[in-house]
Amino acid sequence: MATVEAPPQISTRDLQPFKNEPAVDFSRPENARNMKAALEKVRGELGREYDLVIGGKRSKTSDKIKSLNPAHPSQVVGIFQKAGKEHVEPAMEAAQKAFQAWSHTSWQERAEFVLKVAHTIRERKFEFSAWMVYEVGKNWAEADADTAETIDFAEFYAHEALRLATADAPVQLPGERDYLFYIPLGVGIVIPPWNFPGAIMAGMTLASIVSGNTVILKPSSDSPAIARFFVSILEECCLPPGVVNFCPGAGGSFGDALVAHPKTRYIAFTGSREVGLHINKVAAEQVPGQIWIKRTILEMGGKDAIIVEADADIDSAVEGVAVSAFGFSGQKCSACSRLILHEKIYDTFLDKLKARVEKITLGDPVDNPNMGPVVNEGSMKSILGYIEHGRKDGRLITGGERVAGKEGYFVQPTVIADLKPKSKLEQEEIFGPVLAVIKARDYDHALEIANDTEFGLTGAVYSGDDKKLERAIREFHVGNLYLNRKCTGAIVGAHPFGGFNMSGTDSKAGGPDYLLLFTQAKSVGKKL
């Protein structure tokens, strides 16, 4: 990938209060031109081969990972080396060696580095977004939101690092000077998902390194190109070799070996419940040479519900449901997968929702439609299988098919009504453009349905009754609850993100507690 001039030195002395990165307005001609130019630039780089990066050294492997464009699977986005068990020790040794120096750099130095990364991504944000358009099928707005969140994580964690640097014991005993320090953990394994391949991948990595840890980064096999572009930015910003090691590889061999390694200090993972629980189990078992309890930072699935009451603003709720359910083809752990409608508005709402969903445009994300493909063929087949179950268990309102005449993995936005609580589509995470609709007798019944899954990530309630909204705050058991708005689009700082129950360890990414997960507190008392 092309290099640019080294980013300027950034001092934390001039640090301004944190402010979220604004969304790009693509209706402005200059922004549309910039995005098209970035897409053309990235298109010219598709199909290249990229090395592993371990301790700053490049290497190739006999096995490869091919990243494909889900809108045009015949188009290779990039070819990547596939790390195996033989790469575990070299990666661990490189990360451990780098930890010796990196862990002793100051919080300020590390914060300044992360701010430099934020500056560089901001300068190249259209290019960063363009990689996501090609590799995972995000349209322009979804890709830009991912990029903006990446910048936000970098800036926010730099601010948080400086806050932790000034931490002190809250009580000073007479005759003592008492201290509280937050120190790094060690070598972390970062295993990000493909659906937020910029923000979550970079967020977990930057939280790790700003806290003084070193990282073995194992990106998803569906999105290694975006991770490699990010690593190239770290290199441009002069990150010391070995602090972040770029190692795409299979989860069942390379990933499991990393998690089980006695020198692994923590695992930061975002993905499915099944894989998250497996990581938790493997990490919990002490192996020879292991002297600590491994920490797991797990963000897993969701079966998120929006409740719409009879007293709600119907048109606003229809829009919120449609965007929450079908943004990025429903491939968000926060997506609205269940719609719980009060029986009094059930038919009217479905009519309006059907009309709204049928306005959604599908196509190649390069052309910026409302919705693009799902990420790969396996995902498409799984989603179509769920739709077939839904046809038997409920009533198809709209959609229900693979889009004909397109090369890619396009599935129509699908709404299936009249589903019963505890049915397959009401309980299982589909991770695609499929919305299950359930009828509720009243608000008690709606809350009961909303809480009846093993997940607890996001949820929303539309109601004009403040008492109902207050009750939702108390009784709707999710990590991120939204009132009279959509259930997707968590903003760094405003909506620290993480869920309850089988949705994970409630890590609250983008919040004031997050860096505590990547550090350990050391108390010191000195007699005067």
Looking at the predicted structure, is the pLDDT value of residue 186 above 90?
Answer: yes
Please tell me whether residues 89 and 200 are part of one structural domain: yes
pLDDT digits (tens, 9 = 90+) for 97-115: 999 999 999 999 999 999 9
Measured distance CA(125)–CA(141) in Å, rounded? 12
Please tell me whether residues 324 and 431 are part of one structural domain: yes
- Assess contact for 103 and 212: CB atoms under 8 A: yes
Looking at the predicted structure, is the pLDDT value of residue 250 above 90?
Answer: no
Segment 194-198 shows an average pLDDT of: 98
CA-nearest of 442, 371, 91 to 259 is 91
Segment 272-280 shows an average pLDDT of: 97
Measured distance CA(365)–CA(370) in Å, rounded? 8
What per-residue confidence (pLDDT) applies to 2? 38
Answer whether residue 7 is part of any domain: no
Write out the DSSP string of 177-217.
EEEEEEEE--EEEEE--SSSTTHHHHHHHHHHHHTT-EEEE
Segment 440-457 shows an average pLDDT of: 98
Cα distance between the two ends of the chain: 57
- Assess contact for 177 and 223: CB atoms under 8 A: no
Please tell me whether residues 50 and 181 are part of one structural domain: yes
pLDDT digits (tens, 9 = 90+) for 296-326: 999 999 999 999 999 999 999 999 999 999 9
Please tell me whether residues 424 and 520 are part of one structural domain: no
CATH of the domain at 310: 3.40.309.10
> Please, is 55 exposed, middle or buried when counting C-beta atoms within 10 Å of its C-beta (0-12, 13-18, 19+)?
middle
What's at 171, amino acid-wise? V
Measured distance CA(379)–CA(388) in Å, rounded? 14
Please tell me whether residues 446 and 516 are part of one structural domain: no
Maximum distance among all alpha carbons in the chain?
Answer: 79
Measured distance CA(333)–CA(270) in Å, rounded? 10
Task: Label the pairing between strands 64-69 and 72-81.
Answer: antiparallel
Q: In sequence order, which ranges of 193-335 are alpha helices (DSSP H)?
A: 199-210, 224-236, 256-260, 273-284, 314-326
Segment 147-166 shows an average pLDDT of: 98
Answer whether residue 3 is part of any domain: no
What's at 308, amino acid-wise? V
Please tell me whether residues 474 and 386 are part of one structural domain: yes
Please tell me whether residues 289 and 331 are part of one structural domain: no
What per-residue confidence (pLDDT) applies to 435? 98
Answer whether residue 192 is part of any domain: yes
Segment 448-473 shows an average pLDDT of: 98
Domain that includes residue 249, residue range: 28-300+507-525
What per-residue confidence (pLDDT) applies to 271? 97
Answer whether residue 287 is part of any domain: yes
Answer whether residue 501 is part of any domain: no
Please tell me whether residues 521 and 453 are part of one structural domain: no
Answer whether residue 357 is part of any domain: yes
Please tell me whether residues 37 and 65 are part of one structural domain: yes
Segment 423-444 shows an average pLDDT of: 98
The total number of structural domains in the chain stands at: 2
Please tell me whether residues 359 and 264 are part of one structural domain: no
pLDDT digits (tens, 9 = 90+) for 35-92: 999 999 999 999 999 999 999 999 999 999 999 999 999 999 999 999 999 999 999 9
Measured distance CA(514)–CA(71) in Å, rounded? 35
Looking at the predicted structure, is the pLDDT value of residue 328 above 80?
Answer: yes
Answer whether residue 9 is part of any domain: no
Q: Which residues of 182-219 are buried (b: 16+ CB within 10 A; e: fewer)?
A: bebbbbbbbbbbbbbbbbbbbbbbbbbbbbbbbbbbbb
To the question of pTM greater than 0.85 for the whole model, the response is yes
What per-residue confidence (pLDDT) applies to 339? 98
Active site residues: 299, 333
Please tell me whether residues 253 and 216 are part of one structural domain: yes
Joined tokens for residue 374: 């799902």
Q: How many CA atoms lie within 13 A of 42 on its CB side?
A: 27
Measured distance CA(445)–CA(343) in Å, rounded? 11
> Mean pLDDT, the chain, as a whole number?
96
Would the CA dihedral through 270, 275, 281, 285 be positive or negative?
Answer: negative
Please tell me whether residues 362 and 465 are part of one structural domain: yes
What per-residue confidence (pLDDT) applies to 12? 74
Looking at the predicted structure, is the pLDDT value of residue 500 above 80?
Answer: yes
Q: How many CA atoms lie within 13 A of 145 on its CB side?
A: 15
What per-residue confidence (pLDDT) applies to 3? 42
Looking at the predicted structure, is the pLDDT value of residue 11 above 80?
Answer: no
Joined tokens for residue 142: 């979804």
Segment 405-409 shows an average pLDDT of: 94
Segment 495-501 shows an average pLDDT of: 98
What per-residue confidence (pLDDT) applies to 10? 72
Answer whether residue 10 is part of any domain: no
